[in-house]
């Protein structure tokens, strides 16, 4: 059992066994993953092991690309992450930690100001985007862009999962989001730029591999905001 919002959450024996098996298989690295459940149910049902992009014995992180694919898969199945787990296989047994929470909605609060918990995941470049790479020419004019909002931030959007905002660049888009949904900007950016524990994707690519807040937007683009999942 694990505790969620002051209540006990029951995790089935087969799911516990699967987490332990994953920890043993990934030894000596720290294993990590998610147990998903039907949206709003708070019932852990589907075991989803994740690769530890950190390859560390004391720290785990979901690769930003893997996280986006996980989010879309669960969204298509009308699921939410109910449990995030991480653990090690030790010489005389196992040590497993699970958080009875939805990491994209509550608990980790990676979008909170002054958060001093999990470190920034290591984002891996999936293609060379150097000076010689082909890039789309984008017209810098305001336009409506679809923005997918994670559950943890939907209190700002009145529960809306998808909203529309205008902006020729990502910075403009965030400013427009804040004008429509006050307080949202401070959960996504700080004085240094994008917050350390937030991933923002333009279509399928992490904007950290593009131009960050200066990334230009085009008609038909989609922006997805997701909190990073990492810890140790």
- Domain assignment of residue 139, yes or no: no
- Domain assignment of residue 132, yes or no: no
Give 230's contacts (C-beta < 8 A, 6+ positions apart). Answer: 54, 59, 60, 61, 62, 118, 119, 120, 121, 197
Q: Which residues span the domain enclosing 19? A: 2-100
Same domain for 88 and 173? no
pTM greater than the 0.85 cutoff: no
CATH number, domain with residue 21 = 3.40.140.10
> What is the secondary structure of 43-55 as a DSSP string?
---EEEEE--TT-
- Domain assignment of residue 45, yes or no: yes
Say how many domains are in the chain: 2
Per-residue pLDDT tens digits of the chain, which is 232 residues long? 454 555 688 899 999 999 999 999 998 899 999 999 998 889 999 999 999 998 988 888 899 899 999 999 998 999 999 999 988 655 444 555 555 444 433 333 444 433 333 333 444 433 444 433 344 444 444 568 999 998 889 999 999 999 999 999 999 999 999 999 999 999 999 888 898 888 999 998 999 999 999 999 988 899 999 988 887 6
Same domain for 148 and 220? yes
- Domain assignment of residue 218, yes or no: yes
Q: Before 28, cis peptide (omega within 30)?
A: yes
The 8-class DSSP code of residue 216 comes to B
- Domain assignment of residue 136, yes or no: no
């Amino acid at each position: 059992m694990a505790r969620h919002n002051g209540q006990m959450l029951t995790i089935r024996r087969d799911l516990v066994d699967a987490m332990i098996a994953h920890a043993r298989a990934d030894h000596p690295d720290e294993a990590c993953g998610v147990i998903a459940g039907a949206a709003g149910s708070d019932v852990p049902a589907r075991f989803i092991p994740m690769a530890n992009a950190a390859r560390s014995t004391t720290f785990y992180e979901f690769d930003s690309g893997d996280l986006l694919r996980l989010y879309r898969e669960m969204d298509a199945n009308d699921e939410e992450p109910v449990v995030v787990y991480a653990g090690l296989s030790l010489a005389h047994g196992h040590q497993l930690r699970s958080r009875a929470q939805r990491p994209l909605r509550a608990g980790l609060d990676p979008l909170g100001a002054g958060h001093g918990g999990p470190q920034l995941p290591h984002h891996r470049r999936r293609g060379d985007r150097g000076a010689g790479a082909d890039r789309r020419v984008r017209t810098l004019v305001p336009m409506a862009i679809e923005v997918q909002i994670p559950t943890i931030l939907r209190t700002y959007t009145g529960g809306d999962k998808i909203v529309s905002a205008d902006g020729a660049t990502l910075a403009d888009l965030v400013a427009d989001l804040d004008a429509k949904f006050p307080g949202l900007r401070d959960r996504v950016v700080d004085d240094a730029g994008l917050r350390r524990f937030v991933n923002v994707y333009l279509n399928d690519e992490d904007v950290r591999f593009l131009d960050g807040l200066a990334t230009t937007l085009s008609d038909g683009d989609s922006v997805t905001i997701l909190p990073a999942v990492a810890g140790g």
